[in-house]
């Protein structure tokens, strides 16, 4: 069942989303060669708790950290560690915050120092695929119109769309109905309605779309070792243009 949110609920979700966006700003300022992903994790957890928010991911189905930190060929669910970021890396940071009972969820992929053209192209095209998708996040369309637009753009850029992991509804829980794939034919799935809140999150690979899970049973990597990027916002469907909730 898709849970439609009232305007009051969406206003609370904007507060949660703003804390996620502020967390991303903190991360962006601290990413540089030599920083460990565990330092980024501590930074975000300390910030969220100082604002009376709960790091949504920590303890979720046993996930042990406040953020997902996925470097280079890691697609999603990377574990923060003592690994130091290196010049030329890319890192996808996924952050969730629960505030006043509602969740904000957003991911961005960052460049570490000077990065080669392949990775720059991947990161920018992943971001743009999200914006191509939300052109269809309106009540005149169906859910898969978003999915189709993301896939069409990503593949036009010579990239591939991860199939095994998808976006989702979000509200009092981090994962609600419906699932939001980043691929598929247009005109399918439920018609979009005012009050739907969706975490739309393209996960795009430089090589093939196939992935595998590491022995920690969480971290997803590309099978060919090529880099992957991730871009996500929490988006409310309105009676007009879509509203991004995970922004400052």
Residue 2 domain-assigned (yes or no): no
- In this prediction the pTM is 0.97
Residues 165-215 pLDDT 10s: 999 999 999 999 999 999 999 999 999 999 999 999 999 999 999 999 999
DSSP assignment, residue 245?
S
* 48 domain residue, yes or no: yes
Structural domain includes residue 185: yes
State the average pLDDT for the chain: 98
Residue entry with tokens 């980043």:
182
Distance CA 206, CA 43 (A): 30
- How many Å separate Cα 207 from the centre of its chain? 20
- Is residue 58 in a domain? yes
Number of other CB atoms surrounding residue 210 within 10 Å = 13
Domain that includes residue 235, residue range? 7-244
Domain count for the chain, please give it.
1
Whether residue 74 is contained in a domain is answered as yes
Q: What pLDDT, on the 0 to 100 scale, is given for residue 63?
A: 98
Give the pLDDT confidence score for residue 49 in this predicted structure: 98
| Residue 54 neighbours by CB distance under 10 Å | 18
Q: Is residue 1 part of a domain?
A: no
Instruction: Note whether residue 149 is domain-resident.
Output: yes
104-140 pLDDT, tens digit each? 999 999 999 999 999 999 999 999 999 999 999 999 9
CATH number where 85 lies: 3.90.230.10
- The angle formed by the CA atoms of residues 106, 187 and 203, to the nearest 5 degrees, is 30
């Amino acid at each position: 069942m898709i849970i439609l949110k009232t305007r009051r609920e969406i206003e609370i979700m904007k507060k949660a989303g703003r804390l996620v966006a502020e967390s991303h700003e903190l991360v962006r300022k601290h990413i540089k060669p030599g920083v460990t992903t565990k330092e980024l994790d501590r930074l975000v957890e300390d910030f969220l708790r100082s604002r009376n928010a709960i790091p949504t991911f920590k303890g979720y189905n046993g996930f042990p950290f406040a953020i997902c930190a996925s470097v280079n060929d890691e697609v999603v669910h990377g574990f923060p560690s003592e690994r130091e970021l290196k010049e030329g890396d890319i890192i996808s940071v996924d952050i969730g915050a629960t505030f006043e009972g509602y969740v904000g969820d957003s991911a961005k992929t960052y460049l570490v120092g000077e990065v080669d053209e392949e990775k720059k192209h991947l990161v920018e095209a992943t971001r743009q695929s999200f914006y191509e998708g939300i052109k269809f996040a309106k009540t005149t369309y169906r859910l898969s119109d978003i999915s189709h637009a993301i896939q069409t753009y990503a593949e036009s850029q010579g990239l591939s769309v991860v199939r095994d992991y998808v976006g989702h509804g979000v509200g009092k829980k981090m994962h609600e109905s419906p699932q939001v794939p980043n691929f598929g034919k247009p005109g399918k799935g439920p018609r979009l309605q005012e009050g739907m809140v969706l975490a739309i999150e393209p996960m795009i690979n430089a090589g093939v779309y196939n992935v595998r899970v590491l022995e920690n049973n969480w971290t997803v990597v590309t099978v060919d070792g090529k880099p992957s990027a991730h871009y996500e916002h929490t988006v409310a469907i309105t009676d007009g243009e879509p509203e991004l909730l995970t922004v400052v």
